[in-house]
Amino acid sequence: MRVLVIGGDGYCGWATALYLSNRGHDVAILDSLVRRHWDAQLQVNTLTPIAPIQQRLQRWHDLTGKTIDLFIGDICDYSFLINSLQQFKPDAIVHFGEQRSAPFSMIDREHAVLTQSNNVIGNLNILYAIKEELPDCHLVKLGTMGEYGTPNIDIEEGYITIEHNGRKDTLPYPKQPGSFYHLSKVHDSHNIQFACKVWGLRATDLNQGIVYGVLTEETGMDELLINRLDYDGVFGTALNRFCIQAAIGHPLTVYGAGGQTRGLLDIRDTVRCIEIAVNNPAEAGEFRVFNQFTELFSIADLAHKVKEAGAAIGLKVEINSIDNPRVELEEHYFNAKNTKLIDLGLQPHYLSDSLLDSLLNFATKYKGRVDANEILPKVKWK
Ligand code: NAD
Ligand code: USQ
């Protein structure tokens, strides 16, 4: 299949583009490289030294003989997007290309507006471009488990059947997102659902949990193919951050009570989930929702796991509960379904001692690049 990976220079997108290329798909990457620019503006950097995208792709070609086409530009620029689609003619578009940090979106008004305009308009442009140019193309869109928030009932995959005053209907699952970023994903989901209904587009919304890990078969092939690994207080995510904190001897930063529970998955499962979605397209007019995570953990559980895994390789790891910069429940019920991707063949890589060991060793290898001033959170929700 011809697959366009939008956001293919980023953490999930880079691993996915190489994985799909390795499995014989014709892959192109479209990316504005704006994430590298945001890092520079915030003066933060990935733990790993990532090469420029052109060098990455040249290396991939030299190693495997496979070519990945490159379109550099912004999906908010509609004529650029249309030109890229006309040239590449994808069967599927995998859309990772958004501002994805909750803290970034909560810095101030400008960052909230930037997040929502970048994400909502970019996604809306993709919907129009598919309708105008490639009405049969399958959109595989990265959403987030955070669209649901933390309701006191089980979380279904996208839809819930409700009986009310003697009548019954299956409706979109209620959304209670916890940041302007997470809200942008809810707005995207509504727009995609509407486009499927009125124009007959086919789309899969992947409500992904927090991704951890850095190595996939492909990104581990060569230093020039290395993936980004964020650890700073804006772009770093819970488990990855904890491993890097452990490696430099920084106490693990559990926000508040640590009972916040989330769905998580290994990046090796992210790439496989995308392949599964691409290989099994939604029907015309169908808006399909999959919950893309493999296990549930509380933040305190994750910190304890990193502490134990650290001890096993001689690291003395402390856990610190610090004032929570966010507004969120710190103890709550959380039980989300995740059977649809498993039914289609996903065989999860569950969080194991060997994964933690490898991530801790990886973090130790690059710890000289860590700026310890960027570990503590600086963005507050209030
Ligand atoms: P990332 O920041 O590493 O990558 C995103 C990429 O998209 C960057 O390379 C950036 O330059 C590009 N991009 C952003 N806006 C663009 C635009 N307007 N036009 C073209 N390119 C643009 O993020 P990531 O961690 O790889 O996340 C990818 C997607 O997966 C996001 O949509 C995110 O919401 C979702 N997701 C990520 C996680 C996670 O834990 N990382 C979890 C759940 C969902
Ligand atoms: N947290 C800590 N300590 C830290 C970092 C985070 O206690 O050092 C807590 C947060 O308060 C929150 C939870 O851990 O309760 C998750 O925070 P996170 O920064 O790991 O993840 P989040 O902000 O939710 O965002 C990340 C990605 C986002 C994706 C989302 C999936 O950046 O793109 O959408 O995970 S989910 O969490 O399922 O919504």
> What ipTM does the predicted assembly reach?
0.99
The predicted structure's pLDDT at residue 298: 98
DSSP letter for each residue of 78-135: HHHHHHHHHHH--SEEEE--S---HHHHTS-HHHHHHHHIIIIIHHHHHHHHHHHH-T
Where residue 33 falls (left for φ over 0; alpha for ψ -120 to 50; beta otherwise) is: left
Report the pLDDT averaged over residues 148-169. 98
Residue with tokens 């007019």: 285
The predicted structure's pLDDT at residue 303: 98
Ligand 2 atom closest to the CA of 100, numbered from 1: 33
Ligand 2 atom closest to the CA of 182, numbered from 1: 34
Q: Do 369 and 247 form a contact (C-beta atoms < 8 A)?
A: no
Calculated CA dihedral for residues 278, 280, 285, 291, nearest 10 degrees: -80
Name the average pLDDT for the chain: 98
Pocket lining for ligand 2, CB < 6 angstroms: 100-102, 144-146, 209-210, 237-238, 241, 253-255, 260, 262-263, 299, 326, 328
The tokens of 232 are what? 């700073």
Ligand 2 atom closest to the CA of 258, numbered from 1: 7
R_g of the chain computed on alpha carbons = 20
Q: Which residues partner with 297 through β-bridges?
A: 262
The tokens of 131 are what? 């309708």
**In which band, very low, low, confident or very high, does the pLDDT at 285 lie, cut at 50, 70 and 90?**
very high
Q: Is 277 exposed, middle or buried (0-12, 13-18, 19+ CB in 10 A)?
A: buried
The tokens of 223 are what? 């230093």
Structural domains of the chain ordered from first start: 2-374 (3.40.50.720)
Q: Do 137 and 91 form a contact (C-beta atoms < 8 A)?
A: yes
Residue 206: what are its φ and ψ, rounded to 5°?
-100, 105
pLDDT digits (tens, 9 = 90+) for 241-253: 999 999 999 999 9
The predicted structure's pLDDT at residue 100: 98
For atom 16 of ligand 2, which residue has the closest CA? 238
- Whole-model pTM? 0.99
What is the rounded distance in angstroms from the CA atom of residue 145 to the CA atom of residue 206? 9
What is the rounded distance in angstroms from the CA atom of residue 77 to the CA atom of residue 93? 17
Q: How many Cβ atoms sit within 10 Å of the Cβ of residue 165?
A: 4
The predicted structure's pLDDT at residue 220: 97
Q: Do 309 and 238 form a contact (C-beta atoms < 8 A)?
A: no
Pocket lining for ligand 1, CB < 6 angstroms: 7, 9-13, 31-35, 74-76, 96-100, 118, 122, 142, 144, 208, 210-211, 228, 237
Q: Percentage of residues in the chain with pLDDT exceeding 70? A: 100
Residue with tokens 């994430």: 35
**Ligand having the closest approach to the CA of 4:** 1
Residue 364: what are its φ and ψ, rounded to 5°?
-65, -40
Instruction: Please give the distance, rounded to the nearest whole angstrom, from the Cα atom of residue 137 to the centre of ligand 2.
Output: 31
What is the rounded distance in angstroms from the CA atom of residue 361 to the CA atom of residue 363? 5
pLDDT digits (tens, 9 = 90+) for 55-74: 999 999 999 999 999 999 99
Q: Percentage of residues in the chain with pLDDT exceeding 90? A: 100
Residues 6 or more apart whose Cβ sits within 8 Å of residue 34: 74, 118
